[in-house]
């Protein structure tokens, strides 16, 4: 090459480079800017293809199964979208366009859905072949992202759009228009579009640790897609091991806040169970060893240190059956007995999270997982309204003995022979400082209580025996004199009210020693035992509920002397006006307004047997009342969080509900005012590692 020719070639190369740069810059400048993609909206020539489609795997699979001979490729399209940031709806439309909905010869023979490298001069010869359709989707998405949708890519046309791509992808100038038309016409299903709403799951039968069980999940709306899967999460709220440890461990010194809460706890204490627990606490090792030697109790060895609360566990919830409006899921129960919140989550095919618009809320439900040795107590009013019916059911796997199976070496021990398993029912006042406990029934077991079997005890004339209209009934099954035999299941209770025929009912739970008048009409307090309904006779029959209706007892008519006369049926004119009125408003009172996802959880230790709870930060409960003081009652424990308390819209306190052991009823917050007035107390859930906040009720004094 001559020296004269060499400069000419260099000049030509430089000129070509400049021209290419100018042309590329001109193309970029003339290309419309990519427009924002909207989930479910049309894909136009100028839609940004570097976007998240918002579609689900099951919806793509459902569409392909209905309109093409292609296999389920939803996972492949969504995986390519996540990996290369190329809209899955666009990829699907391009594949349908190039493969004639999966029917073209190249797509069937070479698994090439996009006509990749199928040049016009000999498409079949040059088209690339792939082992699977999924491999073709992945390779094509990677090539499109790098070459067409990235600035500086070999075929970058100025924007990540169909208009830009169709300049170089196909010899046809209308390729992008065809893909756009298909993408906009393909309507992929969504759960939101079917207006699907789930009810709370229902667990079948009695559940023991480690069991496999079925859960019924009912829904309303359209059909549940076959590709939707489910996942179950068990979140422990109270483990039996925590309750046992708290019962048998030597009491530790509580901090000042816990002492104050314990002193003000609303409700009655089962003195029989407390005495038994105190006896074991004094020397748990000796008591447990003695019980095991004499009676062979299956769980006599109990740890004295309360374990840390368990962490949530996720288990597969496999579809066992799909009905018209109900799905049956097969799941495994947690191994450790206790109380759990069961949450069921709907997932996309392959256990992927559903797109944001398809995520549907399934209410959680509290589930009792029973141990091998366990009982359940049920209380309801008797048929005449003056007594109660107590039912004790063996919910464990082990029979509960009525009498000890003593070894021959100790059969001469008369006291050991005399020990029997006994059901006791006591009644206590609402004042924890003065429970005034009365033993109502002590009924020995007539025979061993087999698993699943029940025994019923009639408790008549409660008001006559206690002299009180409202009582906390506590039921205890003492097995062979050993308080550790049933451990966490030793006792339970509920409120009972006997209003009497001649006494008018009042709303709220009365506090002993103070006069009670009906609550204001704007703040009704629903109770689990409604006011009696007059029948053919003068004696009312209350409905079978658990929380009492507050009923003022007859007030003594004062005599002229200093010492009041004996209590008789008072004359209306002689009833003194009450100076103070105290009421308890339960969690379902109409005076409470909830916002932000509150649920209900049952437990016999709560006032009325239920609490409302929330664990969503920002959820609020606003209670409006009239009075001179207010107290917030609720549970504390190792899974509880923090709450902000506001009075009349002003933040006044942050309450920490965490405690090392569970307490069903404690005073969480109190406030006294200078004079009686109308106020609003608002509880706001705060973010924390265990954000659960619960409301059992409010105590108002006016």
Residue 503 lies in a domain: no
CA separation (Å) from 49 to 37, 59, 106, 151, 450? 8, 20, 26, 13, 67
Q: What is the mean pLDDT of residues 466-473?
A: 85
289 and 324 fall within a common domain: no
Task: Please state, in angstroms and rounded to a whole number, the distance separating the CA atoms of residues 169 and 161.
Answer: 12
pLDDT in tens, 488-533: 676 777 777 765 432 222 223 333 322 222 222 222 223 333 333 3
Q: Is residue 328 part of a domain?
A: yes
| 633 lies in the same domain as 592 | yes
What does the alpha-carbon distance between residue 702 and residue 687 come to, in Å, rounded to a whole number?
A: 34
CATH number at residue 33: 1.10.530.10
Residue 519 CA to residue 526 CA, distance in Å, equals: 11
Residue 313: its pLDDT value, please? Answer: 86
Q: DSSP readout, 292-323? A: HHHH--TT----SSPPPPPPPEEEEEEEEEE-
The number of folded domains in the chain is: 4
In a domain, 564, yes or no: no
Answer yes or no: is 6 within a domain. no
Q: What's residue 130's pLDDT?
A: 95
Domain boundary among 336, 370, 404: 370
% of the chain surpassing 70 pLDDT: 71
In a domain, 507, yes or no: no
- Is the separation of the CB atoms in 124 and 105 below 8 Å? yes
Q: Which of 549, 609, 655, 528 is nearest to 267 (CA)?
A: 609
Q: Region 193-209: what's the mean pLDDT?
A: 89
Looking at the fold, whether 45 and 150 belong to one and the same domain comes out as: yes
Q: pLDDT for 241-260, tens place per residue?
A: 766 554 444 333 333 333 33
Domain of 323: which CATH number? 2.60.40.10
| Residues 130 and 168 placed together within one structural domain of the fold | yes
Q: Are residues 356 and 324 in the same domain?
A: yes
Asked whether residue 115 is domain-assigned, the answer is yes
Which residues are CB-neighbours of 20 under 8 A, at least 6 positions away?
none
Q: Which residues pair with 651 in a beta bridge?
A: 646
Sign, Cα dihedral of 475, 479, 483, 489: negative
Average pLDDT of the residues in 662-676: 85
Mean of pLDDT values over 28-37: 81
Q: Lowest-pLDDT range, 221-235, 324-338, 475-489, 635-649?
A: 475-489
pLDDT tens digit sequence for 398-430: 999 998 775 444 444 444 445 789 999 999 887
CB neighbours of residue 459 within 10 Å:
21
Residues 203 and 336 in one domain: yes
Last residue of a domain, one of 185, 210, 226: 185
Range of the domain at 658: 578-701
CATH number at residue 595: 2.60.120.260
SS3 content of the chain, % helix, strand, coil (to 5): 25, 30, 45
Which of 321, 338, 370 delimits the end of a domain? 370
Q: Are residues 320 and 236 in the same domain?
A: yes
Residues 363 and 430 in one domain: no
**pLDDT tier at 8, thresholds 50, 70, 90:** low
Residue 667 lies in a domain: yes
Average pLDDT of 35-40? 92
The answer to whether residue 693 scores a pLDDT higher than 90 is: yes
Q: Is the pTM of this model over 0.85?
A: no
Question: Which is more confident, 88 or 367?
Answer: 88
Apex 211 CA angle, 210 and 217, nearest 5: 120
- What integer pLDDT is reported at residue 65 of this predicted model? 95
β-strand 388-394 against 375-381: which pairing, if any?
Answer: antiparallel
In this prediction, residue 236 has a pLDDT band, given cuts at 50, 70 and 90, of: confident
pLDDT band at 354, cuts 50/70/90? very high
More confident residue, 34 or 432: 34
Do both 420 and 481 map to the same domain? Answer: yes
78 part of a folded domain: yes
Same domain, 176 and 205: no
CA separation (Å) from 158 to 173, 199, 463?
A: 17, 51, 87
What average pLDDT score do residues 295-315 get? 46
Q: Note the helical H segments in 166-283.
A: 175-185, 240-248, 256-263, 271-282
Same domain, 420 and 315: no
* Domain co-membership, 361 together with 455: no
């Amino acid at each position: 090459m001559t020296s004269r020719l060499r400069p000419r070639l260099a000049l030509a190369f430089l000129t070509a480079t400049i021209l290419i740069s100018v042309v590329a810059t001109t193309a970029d400048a003339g290309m419309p800017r990519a427009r924002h993609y909207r989930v479910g909206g049309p894909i136009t020539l100028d839609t940004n293809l570097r976007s998240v489609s918002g579609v689900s795997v099951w919806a793509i699979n459902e569409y392909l199964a209905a309109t093409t001979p292609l296999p389920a490729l939803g996972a492949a399209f969504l995986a390519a979208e996540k990996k290369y940031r190329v809209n899955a709806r666009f990829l699907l439309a391009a594949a349908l366009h190039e493969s004639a909905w999966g029917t073209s010869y190249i797509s069937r023979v070479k698994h090439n859905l996009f006509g990749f490298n199928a040049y016009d001069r000999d498409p079949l010869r040059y088209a690339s072949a792939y082992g699977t359709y999924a491999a073709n989707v992945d390779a094509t998405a990677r090539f499109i992202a790098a070459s067409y949708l990235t600035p500086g890519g070999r075929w970058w046309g100025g924007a990540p759009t169909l208009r830009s791509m169709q300049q170089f992808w196909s010899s046809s100038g209308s390729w992008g228009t065809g893909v756009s038309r298909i993408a906009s016409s393909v309507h992929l299903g969504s759960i939101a579009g079917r207006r699907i709403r789930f009810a709370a799951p229902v667990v079948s039968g009695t559940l023991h640790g480690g069991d496999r069980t079925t859960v019924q999940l009912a829904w309303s709306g359209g059909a549940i897609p076959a590709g939707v899967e489910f996942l179950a999460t068990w979140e422990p709220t109270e483990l039996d091991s925590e309750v046992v440890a708290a019962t048998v461990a030597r009491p530790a010194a509580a901090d000042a806040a816990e002492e104050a809460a314990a002193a003000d706890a609303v409700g009655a204490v089962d003195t029989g169970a407390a005495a038994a627990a105190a006896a074991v606490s004094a020397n748990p090792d000796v008591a447990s060893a003695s019980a095991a030697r004499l009676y062979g109790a299956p769980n006599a060895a109990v740890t004295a240190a309360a374990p840390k609360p368990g962490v949530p566990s996720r288990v597969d919830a496999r579809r066992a059956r799909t009905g018209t409006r109900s799905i049956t899921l097969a799941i495994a129960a947690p191994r450790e007995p206790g109380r759990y919140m069961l949450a069921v989550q709907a997932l996309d095919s392959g256990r992927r999270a559903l797109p944001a618009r398809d995520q549907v809320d399934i209410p959680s439900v509290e589930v009792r997982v029973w141990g091998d040795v366990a009982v359940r107590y049920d209380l309801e009013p008797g048929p005449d309204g003056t007594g109660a019916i107590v039912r004790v059911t063996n919910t464990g796997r082990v029979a509960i003995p009525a009498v000890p199976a003593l070894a021959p070496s100790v059969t001469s021990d008369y006291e050991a022979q005399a020990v029997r398993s006994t059901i006791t029912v006591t009644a206590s006042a609402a004042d924890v400082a003065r429970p005034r406990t009365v033993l109502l029934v002590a009924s020995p077991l007539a025979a061993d209580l087999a698993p699943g079997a029940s025994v019923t005890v009639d408790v008549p004339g409660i008001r006559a025996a206690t002299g009180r209209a409202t009582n906390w009934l506590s039921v205890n099954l003492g097995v062979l004199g050993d308080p550790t035999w049933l451990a966490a299941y030793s006792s339970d209770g509920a409120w009972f009210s006997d209003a009497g025929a001649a006494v008018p009912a009042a709303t709220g739970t009365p506090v002993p020693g103070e006069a009670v008048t009906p609550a204001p009409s704007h703040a009704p307090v629903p109770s689990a035992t409604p006011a009696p309904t007059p029948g053919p006779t003068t004696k009312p029959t209350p409905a079978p509920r658990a929380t009492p209706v507050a009923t003022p007892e007859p007030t003594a008519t004062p005599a002229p002397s200093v010492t009041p006369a004996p209590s008789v049926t008072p004359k209306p004119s002689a009833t003194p006006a009450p100076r103070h009125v105290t009421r308890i408003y339960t969690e379902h009172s109409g005076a409470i307004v909830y916002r932000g996802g509150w649920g209900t959880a049952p437990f016999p230790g709560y006032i009325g047997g239920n609490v409302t709870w929330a664990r969503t930060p920002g959820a609020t409960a606003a209670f409006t009342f009239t009075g001179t003081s207010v107290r917030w009652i609720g549970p504390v424990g190792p899974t509880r969080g923090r709450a902000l308390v506001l009075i009349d819209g002003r933040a006044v306190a942050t309450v920490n509900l965490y405690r090392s052991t569970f307490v069903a009823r404690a005073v969480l917050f109190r406030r006294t005012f200078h004079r009686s007035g109308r106020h609003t107390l608002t509880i706001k859930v705060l973010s924390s590692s265990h954000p659960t906040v619960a409301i059992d009720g409010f105590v108002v004094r006016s």
